[in-house]
């Protein structure tokens, strides 16, 4: 592990929060306890459907100062204002000195349009099949309306079903064919690490002679499980974890579903 130190207060030093960690497991653990947050401070809509003169201003707090900002996975910059934006939904990210990142969506709309959107959702509790829902209500503009989420095609129905937990970009067009956008979050109501996942990993994977430190990856802590989540998912689905000769026996389909669902929901320490 390589550390780049910085002068910090005694209280901050206890948390090791002013170090840049190049060990992915340690950085993941640090960022899980980081209180970095991002706020969309202001948005300015584009002056017309075809104009690119909108803007989004963000601010960051918490974490360790030395913030930089990015829009739609672009290059990070110290400036917190993004200008010359066309209508659409944007993902804004803030990174602190530790390299921890938080993101939030914001929309730039057409200042000439009277179309407004509101969204109602139900949580995703399905495992392994996602079952969250999202319903869009519209006012203003001129019917007929068409609806889409993310990069999917427009549809006449204002309801979307079978959704996994996550943030969705929503676009609605009226007879003017100019989209109005917003975003909504489908919350998670799936497996718990503490109640469902930890015991499976402990009794089936992190056992003596295997992933308890004898064999890579070490899966004895949440941070290590988190940083190896994609590998765990791949191997339990293929049947190679646990191996066929494991003294712990194989995973049941229910256990595979629980772990897969938990990983798909974001590997929460819940």
| pLDDT at 268 (0 to 100) | 85
Rounded Cα–Cα distance for residues 261 and 269 (Å): 14
Does 217 sit behind a cis peptide bond, omega within 30 degrees of 0 on the bond before it? yes
Query: Residues of 181-219 as b/e, b for ≥16 C-beta within 10 angstroms?
Result: bbbbebebebbebeebbbebbeebbbbeebbeeeeebbb
DSSP 199-218: HHHHHHTS-TTTTTTTSSSP
Fold match flag (37-107 vs 116-186): yes
Q: Give pLDDT tens digits for 194-247.
A: 999 999 999 999 999 899 988 889 999 999 999 999 999 999 999 889 988 888
Answer with the residue of higher pLDDT: 247 or 137: 137
What pLDDT is attached to residue 19?
Answer: 36
Report DSSP letters for 252-264, one per residue.
Answer: PHHHHHHHHHHHH
**CATH number 1.10.3470 given to 37-107:** no
**In the predicted structure, residue 9 carries a pLDDT above the cut 50:** no
The CATH fold of domain 116-186: Immunoglobulin-like (2.60.40)
Residue 125 pLDDT grade (very low, low, confident, very high; cuts 50, 70, 90) = confident
Neighbours of 152 (CB within 10 A): 12
**CA distances to 34, 70, 200, 231, 243 from 40, in Å:** 19, 13, 40, 34, 48
Q: Could you check whether the bond before residue 242 is cis, i.e. omega within 30 degrees of 0? A: yes
The residue written with tokens 């969309």 in the block is: 40
Q: What is the DSSP letter of 197?
A: I
What is residue 29's DSSP assignment? H
**Can you give the pTM of this predicted structure?**
0.68
Top-confidence residue, 115 or 34? 115
pLDDT in tens, 90-123: 999 999 999 999 999 999 999 999 999 999 999 9
Count of CB atoms situated within 10 Å of the CB of 21: 20
Look at residue 128 in the predicted model and tell me its pLDDT. Answer: 77
Q: What rounded mean pLDDT belongs to the chain?
A: 87
Confidence band of 191 (pLDDT split at 50, 70, 90): confident
Average pLDDT for residues 51-60, to the nearest whole number?
98
Confidence class for position 29, pLDDT limits 50, 70, 90: low
User: Domain boundaries in the chain?
Assistant: 37-107, 116-186, 193-264
pLDDT(147) > 60: yes
User: Is pLDDT larger for residue 97 or for residue 265?
Assistant: 97
Residue 158 scores a pLDDT above 90: yes
d(CA 43, CA 58): 9
């Amino acid at each position: 592990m390589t550390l780049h130190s910085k002068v910090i207060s005694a209280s901050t030093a206890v948390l090791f929060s002013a170090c840049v960690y190049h060990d992915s497991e340690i950085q993941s653990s640090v960022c899980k306890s980081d209180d970095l947050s991002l706020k969309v401070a202001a948005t300015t809509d584009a002056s017309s459907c075809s104009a690119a003169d909108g803007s989004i201003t963000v601010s960051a707090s918490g974490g360790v100062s030395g913030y930089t900002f990015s829009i739609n996975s672009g290059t990070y910059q110290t400036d917190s204002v993004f200008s010359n934006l066309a209508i659409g939904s944007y993902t804004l990210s803030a990174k602190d000195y530790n390299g921890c990142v938080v993101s939030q969506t914001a929309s730039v709309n057409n200042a000439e349009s009277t179309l407004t959107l509101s969204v109602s959702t139900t949580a995703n509790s399905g495992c392994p099949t996602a079952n969250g829902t999202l319903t869009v209500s519209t006012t203003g503009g001129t019917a007929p309306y068409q609806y889409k989420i993310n990069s999917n095609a427009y549809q006449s129905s204002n309801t979307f079903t079978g959704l996994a937990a996550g943030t969705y970009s929503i676009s609605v067009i009226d007879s003017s064919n100019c989209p109005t956008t917003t975003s909504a979050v489908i919350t998670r109501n799936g497996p718990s690490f503490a109640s469902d996942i930890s015991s499976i990993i402990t009794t089936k994977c992190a056992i003596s002679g295997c992933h308890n430190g004898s064999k890579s990856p070490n899966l004895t802590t949440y941070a290590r499980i988190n940083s190896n989540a994609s590998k765990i998912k791949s191997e339990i689905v293929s049947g190679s974890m646990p191996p066929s000769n494991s003294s712990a026996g194989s995973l049941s389909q229910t256990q595979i579903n629980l772990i897969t669902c938990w990983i798909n929901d974001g590997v929460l320490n819940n």
